[in-house]
Structure 1
Amino acid sequence: MKESFDELFRTVKLDRKNSNFSQRCTLESRYKELLSEIEEIEKAIENGDLKNLKEELGDALWDLMFLFAIAEEKQIDPKDVIEEVIEKIKRRKPWIFTGEKLSIDEEIERWKKVKKQEKSQKS
């Protein structure tokens, strides 16, 4: 799977480099495209259309990776983004790594508690 993600990101960057249209895209314009694809995902889910869902997930992934490419041009390292979200999940959901069994309510309670602590540390 890593190779597929790497190839997709290389393809996005090639598109950004070699397509006049793609060079004109901004964070704002690609964000709007992503929102549009998310609406398409919603429709596919509502309709129970798994074939279309697969296509729309791919379209949304393309737009998200495109946002990563533009962000990288603005000195936001995609690796840093990925590492930060992994660390966030490790803090907020440590039980998924330890095998500890929690009820849904306990999971939600712990998630909210850690999130609240993180927010208070930022302010």
Structure 2
Amino acid sequence: MKEKFQELYESLKIDRKNSEWSREHSMKERAEELYKEVLEIKQALENDDVKNLREELGDALWDLLFMIVIAEEQKLFSGKEVINDAMEKLKRRKPWIFTGKKLSKEEESKLWNEIKKKEKE
């Protein structure tokens, strides 16, 4: 999976570089496209349409990665920083998954909400 993820990311960078149409897209436009894809994901789920769900998840991933490519191009932040931030958030909000500690669904939910609340303070 790592290789395919990297291939998609690198291909989107090439697309941005070599396609005038792609270069014209702004971060806001890509965010709007991502929003539409999320609605299509929701629709696929409601319809129990696994084939379409797979396609729409790919489209959403494409838009999300494309936004990261634009952010890197504009020197806002790197994709590595985005992934690192997401990983750090996962470690903060669900530390028990890395220790092997077993929690009930209720305990997980309670801890998740407590940690999230502390982050917002």
Matched, 1:85 2:86: yes
Letter in 2 for 1:35: Y
Letter in 1 for 2:27: L
Q: Deviations over 1:40-75 (max 9, x none)?
A: 111111111101111111111110110110111122
Aligned equivalent of 1:52 = 52
Please provide the CA RMSD for this pair.
Answer: 1.0
5+ residue gaps, structure 2: none
Aligned equivalent of 2:6 = 6
Query: TM-score, normalised on structure 2?
Result: 0.94
CA distance in structure 2 between the aligned counterparts of 1:115 and 1:39, rounded to whole angstroms: 26
- The equivalences for 1:31-46 within 5 A come to 31-46=31-46
> Aligned-pair distance for 1:6?
0.7
Q: Look up the SS of the partner of 1:58 in the other structure.
A: helix
> Aligned-pair distance for 1:15?
0.8
Matched, 1:23 2:40: no
> Aligned-pair distance for 1:83?
0.8
CA distance in structure 2 between the aligned counterparts of 1:82 and 1:92, rounded to whole angstroms: 15
- The equivalences for 1:77-116 within 5 A come to 77-116=78-117
5+ residue gaps, structure 1: none
Aligned equivalent of 2:69 = 69
Number of residue pairs matched by the alignment = 120
> Aligned-pair distance for 1:17?
0.7
Query: TM-score, normalised on structure 1?
Result: 0.93
Q: Look up the SS of the partner of 1:48 in the other structure.
A: coil
Q: Look up the SS of the partner of 1:102 in the other structure.
A: coil
CA distance in structure 2 between the aligned counterparts of 1:81 and 1:53, rounded to whole angstroms: 24
CA distance in structure 1 between the aligned counterparts of 2:54 and 2:120, rounded to whole angstroms: 35
